[in-house]
C-alpha cells in the first residue's frame, strides 16, 4: 500500500510539473528552459561534508544533473548500443565489400591522424613552455647575479601573474570545461555519460594555450592531464568532421556519425595524450585500458597502439631536430620528463625494507592527499560560485603565493661548495638546466634549494631524480621542498586553469623518496635518485590507484627492466594501502561533479534487491503502440523526459500456432527518433503498417544517428494530431531485457559491461492481458546512492559487526 501511494503521488507530481531541480537551491525550471544554468547556490545548503550535487527523492525517477565546467547541466547517457531497426538492417545488407573495407580503412586513417596531430601539438606545447619559462628564468638569474633581488622578484612575480591571468581568463570566459585535467570527464564519457561542451574546438584551443600559460607560470601543475584531454578533443573533432559550426559534410564521414565509433576514437585520443606526455606508447594503451575505458575489445587495442606508435615517431623526429639546436632553449633531454636510463641498478634482499616502507608511505600519503584535496575542492567550489571575478582572483592569488615561495625559500638554503671532481661548467650553473644552481652563492658554490625551486617543474623532477648525487641535497632542503609541494599540490589543483595531477604527485612523492634515501643511505644499495623515482610511483599508486599502466610507464621512462621487481612491489603495496582508506582521486572528482559514473563492482547489498523491486517504486512505464496516434506521441514527449519508449502490438497471434491473441513487445524506440518523425511529418491518414520502401524514401540510417533537437522545436497542427505514425521500422527490435527476478548487482554488471542506456524489465510469469514489459531501468536507477535514498534499510549501519 505504501509503495502504491508513493507511485501514485509521483505520477501526479510528474503530470503537474515537467521540470528539474537544482538541488542546492531547490530551484525549479521549466522544460523549455532546461539548458539555463544556475551559477549561484546558497553555501549554507552545501556543507563541506556533503556531495556538491545530490538528489534524495523518494523515487527512482528524476533528471540527472552534474557540475560540468562552471555550470549545473542536464546530463544524458550515450547510445552505445547498436540500434537494430529495419533501416539499420537494410543499410548493412546493402553495403558492398568495398564500402566495408572503406569503413575499416577510415578507422585506421583517423587513428593515424589522432596520433599525428597529438604528437605535433604536444611538441609545440613543450617548445613553447621551455622557451617561455627558460627566458623568464634567465632574466631572473641575471637580476640575482647583479644583486638586484627586489627587481628580480617583481619581474618573476609579474611574468607569472600575466601568464596565469591569460590561462585563467581563457578558461573563465571562453571554455570553463577546459579547466582541470579533463580525465574524470573522459572516464565519464567512455562510461556512457554525455558530458556537454567537453570536446569542442574552443575547449581544445583554450586547453592548449591555457596549459602553456599555466605551466610556464611555474604553477604546481603539469601538462600531462591536459594532454589526455587534448588528444580526446582532437579525436572527437576528427570523428565528427570538424567543429560544431564548421562540420565537413563528406559522405565518407557518415560512418562515424554515432556514439559507438566516437567512443573508440576518443579512447585512441586519450591513449595518444598519455603517450605524448610520457613518451610511453605501451603505457598509454594500458592507461586507457586500466584507467579511463569502460568497454574494450581487441580491434580497439590495435588501433590505440597504432595511434601511440605514431605519436612516438613524431616526438622522436622533433627530438632529433632539437638536437641540432633549432629549438631555442629546448634542452637535449627532449620531450621525456625524466630519464634514468644510464643507472646501474643493484640491490639485495635487505633492500626490500626501504621499498616496502616507500610503498606503505605512498599509500597512506596518497589517501591523505585525496582526502584533503576533496575538502579543498569543495571550498573552491563555494568560492567559484560567487562569479567569474572570484575565479580569476583565486587563480592569481595561488600564482602569487607560488611565486613568493619559489623565489623566497631558496634564500633559506645553505651555500655548498662544489665537488672538486666536477668540471667548472657543471657546478655551479646559472639559469640553464643543471643540478647545481649558483643562485645567491659565491663562485664555486651552489644552492641546492634553488636547484629544486627556482626552475621549471620538469627540470625540478629531473634534478631530484638525478643519480650518483648522494651528497647534493641537504635533508633540510628536501624537507622544505616536500612540505612546499604538498601545500602547492593541494591549493593549485582546482583553480580555473588547465591542470594535471601527475606532476604535483610526482614532485611530492619524489621528495619523501629522496628523503628516505638520505636517511637510509648507509643501509641500502639503492641510489637516492631511484628511491625518489619509487617514491613518485608509490604516491601516484596511492592517489590514482593505477598499477599495471603506471608500472609500464615508469619502465619505459627509465629504460631499465631491473627496476621491474621493486616497482611492482611498491605499486601493489601503495594501491592496497590506499584502497583501505578511500577511493581514487578521479572517483572522488566524479562524485564531486555529480557525474552518474557506474562503478565496475556493485555493492554487496545489491544482491538482496531485485530489478522488480526498483521498478515497483518507479512511475508506470510509458508505452506506445506499433501504429500510434500523433497526439499520443506528442503528449509522451512533452509530458515526460524519457529517452526510450517500449513499443507494443496488441492482439498479435503468436507464430507457435496458438489461437489466442497476445500482446507483443516489438522493441524500444528512442526519443530522438520520435522527434525525427515529427520533424519530417511522416504521418499516415489511416492506421496501417507501412512498406519498407516508404521508410527508405523518408529516412536514412545516418539521419537517425543524430541526437539533436527537442520537442519544443517541432510544430504540429491540430489536423496532424489526428493522424498516425507507423513506429515499427524505426524500433530497435533487439533491446536488452531482464527478468524481474534478476538481482540489481547482476543488472549493474550487465548494464556497465555492455554499455547500455535502457534495460527493459519483463515479468517472470506471462499473464494474458498483462503488458509484456513492467518497467524500464536507466543509469540513474542503478546508482547506489539513488537506490539507498528509496531503500535506506539496505545500508549497513556503521560499527555493526557481522554475526557468526
Q: Would you state the cell numbers that stand for residue 187, as one nine-digit string?
A: 572516464
> What is the pLDDT averaged over residues 608-633?
92
pLDDT digits (tens, 9 = 90+) for 429-448: 776 666 788 888 888 888 88
Contact 664, 688 (CB under 8 A): no
In angstroms, the CA 744 to CA 666 distance is 25
- Residue 295 CB partners (closer than 8 Å, separation 6+): 80, 190, 263, 753, 755
Q: Are 236 and 79 in contact (CB under 8 A)?
A: no
> CB under 8 Å to 83, separation ≥6 — which residues?
670, 704, 732
Bigger pLDDT: 755 or 421? 755
Distance CA(98)–CA(62), nearest Å, equals 46
The pLDDT of residue 55: 40
Give the number of other Cβ atoms within 10 Å of residue 201's Cβ.
Answer: 16
* Predicted structure pTM score: 0.87
Q: Is the pLDDT assigned to residue 339 strictly greater than 60?
A: no
* Total residue length of the chain: 804
**Position 157 pLDDT exceeds 80:** yes
Q: What number of H helices and E strands is found in the chain?
A: 27, 16
User: Mean pLDDT over residues 475-498, rounded?
Assistant: 93
Is a pLDDT exceeding 70 seen at residue 607? yes
Average per-residue pLDDT in the chain? 83
Do residues 304 and 283 touch, judged by C-beta distance below 8 A?
Answer: no
Measured distance CA(183)–CA(1) in Å, rounded: 46
Q: What's residue 43's pLDDT? A: 35
Residues 15-73 pLDDT 10s: 433 333 333 333 333 333 433 333 333 333 344 444 444 443 456 655 677 777 767 77
Confidence (pLDDT) at 35: 38
Mean pLDDT is lowest, of 7-21, 265-279, 769-783, for 7-21
Mean pLDDT of 746-770: 87
**Per-residue model confidence (pLDDT) at position 797:** 54
Across 447-455, average pLDDT: 88
Domains and CATH numbers, the chain: 100-322 (1.10.3080.10), 349-409+456-593 (1.10.3080.10), 604-803 (3.10.580.10)
519-529 pLDDT, tens digit per residue, is: 887 777 788 88
CA-nearest of 583, 572, 579 to 538 is 572
Cell, residue 347: 640491490
pLDDT of residue 46: 41
| Whether residue 699 has pLDDT greater than 90 | no
Residue 346: pLDDT band (50, 70, 90) is low
Give me the residue label for grid cell 612540505.
483
Residue 16 pLDDT:
38
**Rounded distance, CA 29 to CA 13, Å?**
14
Tell me which of 90 and 567 has the higher pLDDT.
Answer: 567
- The 10 Å CB-count burial string (b at 16+, else e) for 723-732 is bbbbbbbbbb
pLDDT band at 341 (very low <50, low <70, confident <90, very high): low
Q: Which of 292-296, 303-307, 379-383, 609-613 has the lowest mean pLDDT?
A: 292-296
Mean pLDDT within 750-775:
86
Amino acid at each position: 500500500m505504501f509503495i502504491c501511494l508513493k507511485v501514485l503521488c509521483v505520477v501526479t507530481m510528474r503530470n503537474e510539473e515537467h521540470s528539474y531541480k537544482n538541488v542546492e537551491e531547490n530551484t525549479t525550471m521549466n522544460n523549455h528552459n532546461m539548458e539555463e544554468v544556475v551559477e549561484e547556490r546558497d553555501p549554507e545548503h552545501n556543507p563541506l561534508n556533503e556531495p556538491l550535487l545530490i538528489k534524495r527523492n523518494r523515487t527512482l525517477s528524476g533528471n540527472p544533473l552534474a557540475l560540468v565546467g562552471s555550470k549545473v547541466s542536464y546530463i544524458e547517457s550515450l547510445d552505445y548500443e547498436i540500434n537494430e531497426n529495419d533501416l539499420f538492417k537494410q543499410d548493412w545488407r546493402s553495403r558492398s565489400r568495398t564500402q566495408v573495407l572503406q569503413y575499416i580503412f577510415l578507422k585506421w586513417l583517423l587513428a593515424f591522424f589522432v596520433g599525428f596531430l597529438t604528437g605535433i601539438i604536444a611538441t609545440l606545447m613543450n617548445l613553447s613552455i621551455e622557451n617561455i619559462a627558460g627566458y623568464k628564468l634567465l632574466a631572473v638569474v641575471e637580476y640575482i647575479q647583479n644583486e638586484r633581488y627586489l627587481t628580480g622578484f617583481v619581474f618573476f612575480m609579474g611574468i607569472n601573474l600575466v601568464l596565469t591571468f591569460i590561462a585563467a581568463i581563457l578558461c573563465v570566459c571562453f571554455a570553463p570545461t577546459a579547466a582541470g585535467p579533463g580525465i574524470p570527464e573522459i572516464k565519464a564519457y567512455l562510461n556512457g555519460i554525455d558530458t556537454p561542451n567537453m570536446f569542442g574546438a574552443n575547449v581544445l584551443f583554450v586547453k592548449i594555450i591555457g596549459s602553456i600559460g599555466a605551466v610556464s607560470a611555474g604553477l604546481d601543475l603539469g601538462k600531462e592531464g591536459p594532454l589526455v584531454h587534448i588528444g580526446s578533443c582532437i579525436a572527437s573533432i576528427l570523428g565528427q568532421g570538424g567543429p560544431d559550426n564548421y562540420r565537413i559534410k563528406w559522405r565518407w564521414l557518415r560512418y562515424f556519425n554515432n556514439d559507438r565509433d566516437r567512443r573508440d576514437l576518443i579512447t585512441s585520443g586519450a591513449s595518444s595524450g598519455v603517450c605524448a606526455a610520457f613518451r610511453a606508447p605501451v603505457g598509454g594503451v594500458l592507461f586507457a585500458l586500466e584507467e579511463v575505458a569502460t568497454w574494450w575489445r581487441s580491434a580497439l587495442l590495435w588501433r590505440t597502439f597504432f595511434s601511440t606508435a605514431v605519436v612516438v615517431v613524431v616526438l622522436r623526429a622533433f627530438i632529433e631536430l632539437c638536437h641540432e639546436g633549432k629549438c631555442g632553449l629546448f634542452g637535449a633531454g627532449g620531450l621525456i620528463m625524466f630519464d634514468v636510463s644510464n643507472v646501474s641498478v643493484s640491490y639485495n634482499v635487505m633492500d626490500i625494507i626501504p621499498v616496502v616502507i616507500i610503498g606503505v608511505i605512498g599509500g597512506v600519503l596518497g589517501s591523505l592527499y585525496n582526502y584533503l584535496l576533496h575538502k579543498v575542492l569543495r571550498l573552491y567550489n563555494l568560492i567559484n560560485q560567487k562569479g567569474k571575478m572570484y575565479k580569476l582572483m583565486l587563480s592569481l592569488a595561488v600564482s602569487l603565493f607560488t611565486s613568493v615561495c619559489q623565489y623566497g625559500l631558496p634564500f633559506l638554503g645553505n651555500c655548498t661548495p662544489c665537488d672538486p671532481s666536477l668540471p667548472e661548467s657543471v657546478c655551479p650553473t646559472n639559469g640553464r638546466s643543471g643540478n647545481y644552481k649558483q643562485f645567491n652563492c659565491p663562485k664555486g658554490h651552489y644552492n641546492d634549494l634553488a636547484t629544486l625551486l627556482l626552475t621549471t617543474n620538469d627540470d625540478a623532477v629531473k634534478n631530484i631524480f638525478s643519480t650518483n648525487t648522494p651528497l647534493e641535497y641537504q635533508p633540510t632542503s628536501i624537507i622544505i621542498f616536500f612540505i612546499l609541494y604538498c601545500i602547492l599540490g593541494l591549493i593549485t589543483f582546482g583553480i580555473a586553469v588547465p591542470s594535471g595531477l601527475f606532476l604535483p604527485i610526482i614532485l611530492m612523492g619524489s621528495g619523501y623518496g629522496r628523503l628516505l634515501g638520505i636517511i637510509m643511505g648507509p643501509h641500502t644499495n639503492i641510489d637516492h635518485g631511484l628511491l625518489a623515482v619509487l617514491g613518485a610511483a608509490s604516491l601516484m599508486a596511492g592517489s590514482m590507484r593505477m598499477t599495471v599502466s603506471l608500472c609500464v610507464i615508469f619502465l619505459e621512462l627509465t629504460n631499465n627492466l631491473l627496476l621491474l621487481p621493486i616497482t611492482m612491489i611498491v605499486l601493489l603495496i601503495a594501491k592496497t594501502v590506499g584502497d583501505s582508506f578511500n577511493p581514487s582521486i578521479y572517483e572522488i572528482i566524479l562524485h564531486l561533479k555529480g557525474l552518474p559514473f557506474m562503478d565496475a563492482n556493485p555493492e554487496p547489498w545489491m544482491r538482496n534487491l531485485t530489478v522488480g523491486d526498483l521498478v515497483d517504486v518507479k512511475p508506470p512505464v510509458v508505452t506506445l503502440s506499433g501504429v500510434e496516434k500523433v497526439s499520443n506521441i506528442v503528449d509522451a514527449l512533452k509530458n515526460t523526459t524519457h529517452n526510450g519508449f517500449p513499443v507494443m502490438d496488441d492482439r498479435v497471434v503468436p507464430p507457435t500456432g496458438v489461437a489466442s491473441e497476445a500482446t507483443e513487445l516489438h522493441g524500444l524506440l528512442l526519443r530522438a527518433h520520435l522527434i525525427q518523425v515529427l520533424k519530417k511529418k511522416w504521418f499516415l491518414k489511416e492506421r496501417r503498417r507501412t512498406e519498407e520502401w516508404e521508410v527508405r524514401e523518408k529516412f536514412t540510417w545516418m539521419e537517425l544517428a543524430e541526437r539533436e533537437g527537442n520537442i519544443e522545436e517541432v510544430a504540429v497542427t491540430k489536423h496532424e494530431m489526428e493522424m498516425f505514425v507507423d513506429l515499427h521500422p524505426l524500433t530497435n527490435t533487439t533491446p536488452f531485457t531482464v527478468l524481474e527476478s534478476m538481482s540489481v548487482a547482476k543488472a549493474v554488471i550487465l548494464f556497465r559491461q555492455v554499455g547500455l542506456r535502457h534495460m527493459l524489465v519483463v515479468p517472470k510469469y506471462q499473464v494474458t492481458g498483462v503488458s509484456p514489459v513492467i518497467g524500464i531501468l536507466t543509469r540513474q536507477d542503478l546508482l547506489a546512492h539513488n537506490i539507498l535514498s528509496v531503500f535506506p534499510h539496505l545500508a549497513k549501519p556503521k560499527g555493526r559487526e557481522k554475526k557468526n
